[in-house]
Amino acid sequence: MAKRISRGRFLKTMGAGAVAGSTFSILSCSVSTSPQSSGDGGGNGGGGNGGGGNSLNLYNWSDYVAEETLPGFEEETGIRVTQDFYASNEELLARLQSGAAGYDVIVPSDYMVAIMQKSGVLQELDFEQIPNFENVGEEFRGLSYDPENNFSVPYQWGTTGLLYNRAEIGEITSWDAIFDPEFEGRIAMIDDVRETLGAALMSLGYSINSTDEAELEEAQSLLVEQKPLLRGYFDSTEITPLVENGDILIGHVFSGDGMTPTMDNEDLAYIIPEPGATRWTDNMCIPNGAANVEGAHQFINYILAAGPGAALTNYTYYGTPNEAALPDIDEELTDIPEYDPPDEVFDRLQVIEDVGEATRMYERIFTEVKSS
Ligand code: SPD
């Protein structure tokens, strides 16, 4: 039976819709690549297809399309897709701000849509060309980071929590485990400023969007203390195999990367830690300067069709905003409580928001933690 998330529940933790002042992130702009690609996928900054009517350059998180997604689109439209990868919203923004990125479709998260819109790197969508927007559930429309959906259409949603080896360390329920010296050298964190600082803030009982200097300094101290316990900071998709092969015991991961390995290995578990964790929504947007704007709209419309939407979630294990896809989501996935958390868990999830000028403080702190 297809599950639907109530709009009231979804909006409850979206924050007040506050979008703070302008933010211009200045992080590394290297392009990530992974074997999951179509076209040349060679990390060539969107230049692989040269751009234009017959080709589309997609800049995406790694492992974030189903095996059939790009071939299905190519077959339906005749448009060849080249995909490059990034590991964080900040890397995506830096790439776009460096100019000449050459991408047609990008997939930023909630708070980053707000930042990008203010930074002027996004173009308005033409909903005449996205008739399948009608499949987007009410609870995923008009969210605080883009109240009129002028610039973004939801792609997937999920949580950020912990994948761990339950057989080795027993049940864990909170963030405390990632600060426990007992697991020294066998913990990995996501290399993501807002997620990792967010985990520290939440474990201290603070808002994931805190702009209070004292709270952020406390979070910094906690992460500096944690650093010697870590195997390192990685892309979430790199952490999953480290937990699977027993190299590490606890990994900070996005929910799809956390739930997938638990399907055929009951020694592993994914949890949404107490007292709270992140809930995020990723979105499809078209950056300024896209060479194939029509193709980009076709791609967005394709993802919002029932079949491609279901295939996407059945592969990634992330939630879908696409109501037409719900009847075809695999039951083995909808049966996992963390896929669609019960109200008492959902209510303790927090959504990352643009913190405006405080973004610089977050970035400085994370840089200092990593170099400590
Ligand atoms: N492998 C794809 C993961 C996509 C995660 N995006 C979420 C970012 C949350 N800040």
Per-residue pLDDT tens digits for 151-172? 999 999 999 999 999 999 999 9
The Cα–Cα gap between 283 and 26 comes to 22
Pocket of ligand 1 (CB under 6 A): 61-64, 109, 195, 237, 254, 280, 282, 352
Q: What percentage of the chain carries pLDDT values higher than 70?
A: 86
Nearest atom (ligand 1) to Cα of 111: 10
Nearest atom (ligand 1) to Cα of 60: 2
Best substitution site from 65, 69, 109, 253 to test ligand 1's pocket, by max atoms within 8 Å of Cβ? 109
Mean pLDDT, residues 271-298 taken together = 97
Where residue 3 falls among pLDDT bands split at 50, 70, 90?
A: very low
- For residue 6, pLDDT beyond 60: no
Q: What pLDDT is recorded for position 33?
A: 32
Distance from residue 341's CA to the centre of ligand 1 (Å): 18
Q: What pLDDT is recorded for position 114?
A: 98
The helix (H) or strand (E) run that includes residue 187 is: strand 187-190
Where residue 49 falls among pLDDT bands split at 50, 70, 90?
A: low
Domain ranges of the chain: 10-157+281-334, 158-279+342-371
Q: What pLDDT is recorded for position 217?
A: 98
* 21 or 306, which is more confident: 306
Mean pLDDT, residues 62-76 taken together = 97
- For residue 30, pLDDT beyond 70: no
Beta strands in 27-142 (DSSP E): 55-61, 80-86, 105-106
Judge whether 105 and 300 are in contact, CB under 8 Å: yes
Where residue 256 falls among pLDDT bands split at 50, 70, 90?
A: very high
2-16, 25-39, 131-145, range with the lowest pLDDT: 25-39
Mean pLDDT, residues 48-73 taken together = 88
Q: What pLDDT is recorded for position 51?
A: 57
CATH fold of 10-157+281-334: D-Maltodextrin-Binding Protein; domain 2 (3.40.190)
Where residue 337 falls among pLDDT bands split at 50, 70, 90?
A: confident
- Distance from the Cα of residue 309 to its chain's centroid: 17
Q: What is the dihedral of CA 228, 240, 353, 102, to 10 degrees?
A: 110
- For the domain 158-279+342-371, what is the CATH code? 3.40.190.10
- For residue 306, pLDDT beyond 90: yes
Distance from residue 242's CA to the centre of ligand 1 (Å): 18
pTM (predicted TM-score): 0.88
Judge whether 22 and 119 are in contact, CB under 8 Å: yes
- For residue 43, pLDDT beyond 90: no
10-157+281-334 with 158-279+342-371: one CATH topology? yes
Where residue 340 falls among pLDDT bands split at 50, 70, 90?
A: confident
- For residue 13, pLDDT beyond 80: no
Give residues with Cβ within 8 angstroms of 168, minimum separation 6. Answer: 246, 249, 267
List Cβ<8 Å contacts ≥24 apart for 164-170.
Answer: 164/243, 164/249, 164/250, 164/251, 164/268, 164/269, 164/271, 165/243, 165/246, 165/249, 165/250, 165/267, 165/268, 166/267, 166/268, 166/269, 167/267, 167/268, 168/246, 168/249, 168/267, 169/249, 169/250
